[in-house]
Amino acid sequence: MLRSIATAVVLAALISPALADTYWVVQDPTSQKCSVVEKKSQPGDAQTPPNGAIGNPFQTQAEAQGAIQIMRKCGVAD
């Protein structure tokens, strides 16, 4: 019984990151403004970016917002 519970906990820990949401910085082609888009992952799905995505996915919304502040494509000047 204890072994079954331990196995379930380990499997849950391994599967949870695969089901995590990812946050993408997306640029509107017309206005050139950037925003953060949340994309929910499904088990077995390849990680495909949303249309207009810039760069790699972020684990948190705060990381994605911070990236917008330093991206040249988002209209941020040096």
- Residue pair 34/70 in contact (Cβ under 8 Å)? The answer is no
Parent domain of 66: 2-74
Number of folded domains in the chain?
A: 1
- Percentage of the chain modeled with pLDDT above 70: 63
pLDDT tens for residues 11-31? 444 444 555 688 999 998 888
What would the two tokens of residue 19 be?
A: 């089901």
- Residue pair 61/36 in contact (Cβ under 8 Å)? The answer is yes
Please, which pLDDT band fits residue 75 given cuts at 50, 70 and 90?
confident
In whole angstroms, what is the distance from residue 1 CA to residue 77 CA? Answer: 60
- DSSP, collapsed to helix, strand or coil, labels residue 9 as helix
pTM above 0.75, yes or no: no
pLDDT for 73: 82
